[in-house]
Every structure is written in C-alpha cells, then in structure tokens.
Structure 1
Amino acid sequence: MLAAIVVALAVATALFAHEHPWWKNVYLPLLDIFTMGDPATDEAVARRVLQLVAGFVGLAVLPLVVAATMNATEAFRSASVGLAPSDDLTDHIVVVGLGKIGTRVLAQLRTTDHKVVAVERDPHARGVALARELDVPLVLEDAGTPGVLDRARIRHSRSLLVLTRDDGESLDIVMAARETTPSVRVVMRLYDDDFAATVQRTLRASYPQAPTRSRSVSALAAPSFAAAMMGRHVVGVMPVERGSLLFTVVDVAGHPELEGRSVHEAFREHEWRVLAVGSAAAQPAQSSMDTLAGIRFRRPGFDWRPSQGKVLRAGDRVVLATTRRGLDILMTGVQPHPPDRRG
C-alpha cells in the first residue's frame, strides 16, 4: 500500500511539478509522507538516503512511543487512585460505598484481622482518603457496571457489604453480585425498613443457601434514640433481626412485676427477661458512662447465672433484656390494653 502511494505521488510530481532529475520525483513525496522539512536535495546521495531512513524509522517508532506514554499514564493514574486488589486475594470483605456509613464500617473492619476491598465511584468520597491511608485495595468505579465486582474479586470474597445511599442502586449491586456469585454473604444498607424487609424475604426465597441481610439505618438508629429518651436505665441496644433488645438496669423496689416474684415468674415473654441479680445497696449510683460490658466486668456483686427460683426482693437490682414495649410497662406501670377483636 505504501509503495503504491509513493509511486502515484512520484508520477503526479513528474507530470505536474516538473521536477528534474527523476529521483526528486520520488524523494520529495517521501519527505512529505514522513512530514520532514529541509530536504537535502543539494547534498550527497548518502545524506539523502539517511534522511529517508531516519524518516522511516521515526514513522515506525512513533506508535511505540505513544503506546509507552499511554501505559505510563495509566500506571500513574492507577497509582494515584489506590492499591489494586492482588490476583491471589481471597477470603476478604468487599465494601461498596465509602460515604459516612461506609467510612465508619471500613475503619472498624481495619481494627480487626479482616481483609477488605473497597469500591467507590466518587473519587472525592470521604472514605477514599481513608482507604488510601490504610492501604486498603480500592476500585474507583461504579459497582453496578459489569466487571467491576469481578475486579474486587467478589467470587473469592467472604462477604459483600453494600452501603450506598440509594436503595435501588444497592439492590442492583446485590443482584449483580448474586448472578456471578450466588453463595456470597450479603448485607445491604437500605433506608426504608418495609422495603428492607421485603428485599430480605425475596432474596432469601430466591437464594435459600446464601445468607442475606438487609438493614434500614434509620430503623437501627431509632432504638438508640428511643433508649436515650428513656433515660439512663438503658445501657445497651442490640439489633435482633428487624427489632432490637434493650439492656436495662432496674431497681426491683416499686415494680410489682418484679418484686416478690422469682426469676422464673418475673419472666414475661416478648417483653423482658432477668439476666443478672445484684444488691442495690452494694452498687454505686449509675453513671452515664456505664455500658453493658462495664456492668458485667467492672461492677462486683452481680450474679449472672441466678437460680430460676430466686425471689427478687426490694433491695435487689437487676439487669434485664427488654423490648421497648416491655420497658414502657416497667417504667410507667401501665399495662397495654388487649386489642379489641369484636366485629
């Protein structure tokens, strides 16, 4: 093809430009093809040949130079983005979304022995800088795009945490992960609790062998706010499926549901259970810094395995696991009315 072009240009030069001698009709079109100026028409033949050879070599080398430049640019971009997951990485946790929640989850996971790979499409998300600081493998692409989860080695991971802000986007990512890796353990963040419950039931039915959890952040946070409003009696909150348990410290005196009853008799299904019994007189006043762990390990005098026949007295203090409804009953003494089932 190149030879035919040179011959055609040489003939056109001879016919229309009237170049003489004949070698100029070939030499000058070659210089034009190689985009070379300053033709050596008045110099020796060797100089003209070397000029053409140099032009041909430059034309051949130019694509290699461009390719090397592009590779170097891509390598620099990858290095500036973050650490790519290694090809032998296994048994890790893939965290999708490095917003406020994702950043806290990432920081918490890095305090453990878990290996983590982060996926985030926004290079300016608050968790990107943390991922780089902690040397966490980072994929800066949309997790919903085909192939991105594969780059995060989802097939070899232990579990997938989808923590984006958009419910629909989170569901799309989970469905994409399920298509490639049906057995992967999934926890997703959803805003609407009813939608989260529906998604969890549907995914469990579709993939019965794969653990699936969907959680509404607002629903998880609500018990903590409610507990705070109930006063310092609440020392811990534990999510259980779509509900929560409140761990409370209560003085037996003044509570007819507890006083004078055995530990077994004081139990009320779906409302409260006695976990530990101690002496109110032996316990200092409750501090706002108390935690469930603090009560168990720092405060002496609590029996964490009380006999079911032990009778609770007015001088006792108990640790209870309660529901919000149960705690309302204990604190107010108001018994809820049974629902009216009359037609």
Structure 2
Amino acid sequence: MVIARRQQRPQFIVCGDGPLAFRVSFALSTRYQGDVTVILPYAGSKHGAQMAALDHVRIVEAVRPDDDAFRRARLADADAVALLDQDDAGNIETALLVNELKPGVRLVVRFFDDELGAGIADHLPNCDVLSASKIAAPPLVALALGEARHLEVPGIDLVVGKPDQLPGTALFTLAGVRGTDAAMLPGDDAGLEPRIAIGLASPDPEPARRTRRPNGRVWYFVRQNLNRYIWYALAVLILVIVAGTTLVALTEPTHWTTALYRVVLDTLAGADPDEEAALVTRAVQVIVTVISVAVIPLLTAALVDAVVRARIAAAVSGPGSPMSGHVVVVGMGDVGTRVLATLLERGIPAVAVNLRDDGSRGIPFAREHGVPVVIGDGRRTDVLKAAQIGTARAVMAMTSDDVANIGISIAADSVERDPEHGRLRRVLRLFDEDFARRVRGLIPRSAPRSASALASPAFAASVMGPDVLDTVPFKDRVLLVAEVPMRAHCELEHRPAQEVDVPGEARLLAVRRPEKGFVSDVYRPAATNPLQHNHHLIVIATRSGLERLRARTAAPTP
C-alpha cells in the first residue's frame, strides 16, 4: 500500500534583526505557509522576541551568520535565504558564503547601494537584490502629494490608488468592500465599492519653471541676515547726508546735486580742510566726518558679520530664497534619502532637515543635488520655519524614531500657514501599523505609514520566486505584480487572453513578446487574442492565484 506523503512546508532562512526581518518572517510563515529560521545576534532583542513568538518560526543565535550558524539553521534543506541586515558589506560577505555552502539556492539580499547591488546580483545565480527604502519611497511620496502610485512594470506605465486619484478612467478594481468585507480582484459585476483601482498613467508634464523676481533672492538675504542695528546705522548715515546736503545747498550758491556730492564724499572718504568755505559748510563737514568715523566701522563690521553668517547658514539653515509648493523631508537616513531622490526624479522642489550634520548619507546627497539643508531638531518650530514649511505642500517625518516623527507632525501643525497654499499634508514614518492607526485618530489629517510594512511584501514575494515585479498591499492582504513566462505546450497556449483573468485570483495587465533573445515590446492584448508559448504574461494576482497561473503556464510533465 502506498501512503501519500503530506506536502511539506517550504523552508526559509532569514538573517537580520529589525522591523523588516520581523515582517518578512511573519509573511513567510503565515501568508506563504513556510517554516522560517531566523539568524540574529540576540534572541532577546525587541524584534527577536517578536519573531520567536510567531508560529513556525525558530531562532538561531549567532554573532554573525557563519558556517556554524547556517549548519544549525539547516541551510541544506532551505528553499531560499533572505539577508535583511542594514549592512551592505556584511550582506555581500554572507551572500558569498551562502552561495559557497549551497550553490544556486534562492537568495534575496537587502542593499542600499543600487550599483553595487546590481553588480552582486549579476555574479550570483538565482539572486535578487532589493532596497527596502527604495521600495517604500514611491508610496510615501505618493501619499505626500496625494497622487496615485506608479507600479514598477518595465515597458508600461501603470498607477494604482483610489479611483479619484487616477489620471483617467480605471482599467479595473483591485480591491473593493461591501460593508466590513473586503474582496481582492473582484469581477466587474461584483457590485463592490472600489477602494483601490489600477489605470494608465498620464504622460508627466514638463516641470513648471518657478518664476522669481530678479531681486527676490537679494531681498530675502537682506531680510534674513541684516539685524536692526545695521538698519539703525544706515538710517543715521542717510539722515546725516540728507541734513548736510540741505544745509550746504541753502548756505552756498550751489546746486543741490553738487552739495550732495560733497557731503557724500565727506561722509565716506573723510574731509579735506577748506578754510574759504562758509562757516555752516565747515560745521557740516566736521559733524559729518565725526559721525561717519563712529558709524561706518560699526556698519562695516555688521555687514561682514551678516555675510559670514549667511555663508555658514547656506550649508545648514535652509533655502537662500523664498520657496513654495515644496516638500520638507525630515530625517536623512536610508528612507529619507530615497524619498528625497524620488522627489527630485519627479522634479518636485524639496528641503532636507536633519538633527545633526553627522555624516548621514542623505546630507551629502542633498548638497550634491542643490537641495537646501536645515540642521536642527525637526520638532522645533523655528527649525521648520527655516525650512519654510508655511508655504510647503507637505512635510514627511522620516526619522527612525516614532516619537520624534509624531512630534514633528505636531510641531508642523503649530506653524502659521499661508492660506494661499492650502492644507499641509503630513506623512509620518512609524513601525507598528496598529500604532499608526491610533496616531491617525490622534492627529487628524496625517498619514502614518510603516516603511518596513510597505517594503516587506516585495521582499517576501521575491523569496518565493524571481518573477515578482511589484506588490500592492491592502489592509492585511497583498497583490503581486508578476511576469510569468509561458512554456511550450502549456495549458494556456493558443488560448484567448481573457482566460488568464480569474475573479478573485488574477487579472492580465499586459503581454511581453521576447524575440531573438531581446524584449521587443509590451502591449495590452484584446480579450480574444491568442497567447503563444514565447509570451510573458504580466499579471496582478493573489498569492494563490499566481501559483495557479504558474501551473497553467508551465510545461506539461512527461
């Protein structure tokens, strides 16, 4: 008698101790029904304890992932390994070690440096390199701008968001609700209230050039850097010159322009004795000279001090001219830097704020790209005023401290706002989604989000296979955007494109047609167009729907 073997759960290894490692471990052990072994330095850490409490997750303590740690984690039985530490160099070393111990095993590596990561992926088989901050930045920026988010699908520009955020008519609904029930990828006749839809992006317009008066920057410098003592000194000099010119013009038979010329030279260059001049003129010369000797050094010192302070402030105290419609990004760590880069790619002006000029990776990036930088605590209103938040369109609190981000949002709300620029959008980076929901109730008109929660679905999906391009989270569920190749003689070969669509499971977005080893084009097929074995199907699907589609596009077993 043959006894059917119970299907084993997939085996995964996760290296890392942080919010991303926790969320990926949770997704792999629940949504993807796998057994997860986490390698981390200390099991009693905050996230280590959270991971240890999960079902189907076990902990292996090791100062660093080495041969012994992977032996105890049973690397020989693992289907995939995810390296999620915030250490590019350490992740490179560990990836090489894993490939040496088990060549060809599925590897997902967290990197910040795109060029370095791409180079590593090219030299390691079956390896994907992802950046958590790069994945999280576009949806965070979309929140700040109140726009739909672009999907990472090469060859076709798609956006997802609320139906009223889409630039045109929605192609179809991704998630809808009926009462308290939510449905993913409902049929067109499901009668649900759409919450997330997908559509074609409109071409990006050329960034509007900001008009500025020629003397705008000069006047802003004057207002920001010249204190009241300089104005007092200038007022005294002007008063002396006007009074002296009037007296000389009235007491001597000379034109007032000549009188002004003589008084200005006496004031700024000192006076030469003129014994033949009238008594009043000599008196004016003496008074003007004495006053100028006292006032001009004071004025010179004040101006030099203002210039020096302005030069120092140019590096640490924000814009040197008035700004409006910009985004203030507070926190120049990994996430803040990626957010700033995304804004620059979109042609949106920004101001960077960081607590210290301590070598955070975002400060050199901002200065290199001409972004004004303010050094100071973003929870202080004077720091936010230096970033000109009163005329900004949004503030994004991207520090790694939840409490600091809440304080930044509250401080931003207390800064007087220019009514012409509408309501300030506030995006907060928080770790815990439940905490974010409570903060949303505490601070109205704010958008708390977890960067690790935004990035973890893409990491977890990549662990499952290399064909996942992007993810669309909704509540506690996630949709996967994937590119699935069709094999010869598969179930869908020669079938119409509409057969890919399965309500609640999968919808076809586009078809990629590779020819002669090169990607020739991407197109959205008609429902009745037949599919060929060399086509790649670009779909959005649930996890189970993607697994079924993979089976339908796979080559038949002999």
Normalised-by-shorter TM-score class: 0.5 to 0.7
Q: Where does residue 38 of structure 1 map in the other structure?
A: none
- Larger % of strand: which? 2
Q: 1:274 to 1:92 in 2, by over 3 A?
A: same
Q: Where does residue 161 of structure 1 map in the other structure?
A: 396
Q: What letter corresponds to residue 326 of structure 1 in structure 2?
A: G
Give SS of 2:428's match.
strand
What is the CA–CA distance in structure 2 between the aligned matches of 1:184 and 1:269, rounded to whole Å?
A: 39
Q: Where does residue 372 of structure 2 map in the other structure?
A: 137
Q: 1:269 to 1:186 in 2, by over 3 A?
A: farther
2:408 is aligned with 1:187: no
Q: Where does residue 118 of structure 2 map in the other structure?
A: none
2:533 is aligned with 1:305: no
Whether contact under 8 Å (2:454, 2:473) holds in the other structure is: no
What is the CA–CA distance in structure 1 between the aligned matches of 2:504 and 2:412, rounded to whole Å?
A: 36
Superposed CA offset, 1:156-212 (max 9, x none)? 112222111111111221122234458112222222233234434665xx33xxxx4
Q: What letter corresponds to residue 92 of structure 1 in structure 2?
A: H
2:363 is aligned with 1:128: yes
Which of 203, 207, 229 aligns to 2:463? It is 229
- Aligned alpha-carbon RMSD (Å): 3.8
Q: Where does residue 336 of structure 1 map in the other structure?
A: none
What is the CA–CA distance in structure 1 between the aligned matches of 2:393 and 2:407, rounded to whole Å?
A: 20
What is the CA–CA distance in structure 2 between the aligned matches of 1:126 and 1:330, rounded to whole Å?
A: 42
Give SS of 1:306's match.
coil
Report the Cα offset of residue 144 of structure 1: 0.3
Whether contact under 8 Å (2:330, 2:336) holds in the other structure is: yes
Q: Where does residue 151 of structure 1 map in the other structure?
A: 386
Superposed CA offset, 1:7-36 (max 9, x none)? xxxxxxxxxxxxxxxxxxxxxxxxxxxxxx
If you compute each CA radius of gyration, which structure gives the higher value, 1 or 2? 1
Give SS of 1:177's match.
helix
What is the CA–CA distance in structure 2 between the aligned matches of 1:135 and 1:313, rounded to whole Å?
A: 50
Q: Where does residue 336 of structure 2 map in the other structure?
A: 102
2:405 is aligned with 1:170: yes
Give SS of 2:381's match.
coil
Q: 1:197 to 1:305 in 2, by over 3 A?
A: farther
TM-score normalised by structure 1 residue count: 0.59
TM-score normalised by structure 2 residue count: 0.38
What is the CA–CA distance in structure 2 between the aligned matches of 1:185 and 1:191, rounded to whole Å?
A: 20
Report the Cα offset of residue 131 of structure 1: 2.4
Whether contact under 8 Å (2:317, 2:375) holds in the other structure is: no
Give SS of 1:147's match.
helix
2:453 is aligned with 1:219: yes
Give SS of 1:110's match.
helix
Superposed CA offset, 1:100-156 (max 9, x none)? 221232234334422111111111133222322322211111110123212211121
Please show how residues 250-329 of structure 1 align to structure 2 within 5 Å.
250-251=484-485, 263-264=497-498, 266-277=500-511, 298-300=519-521, 303-307=523-527, 309=528, 317-329=536-548
Q: What letter corresponds to residue 327 of structure 2 in structure 1?
A: I
Whether contact under 8 Å (2:381, 2:412) holds in the other structure is: no
What is the CA–CA distance in structure 2 between the aligned matches of 1:316 and 1:130, rounded to whole Å?
A: 41
Q: Which runs of 5+ in 2 are unaligned?
A: 1-290, 553-558
Q: Which runs of 5+ in 1 are unaligned?
A: 1-56, 288-297, 334-343
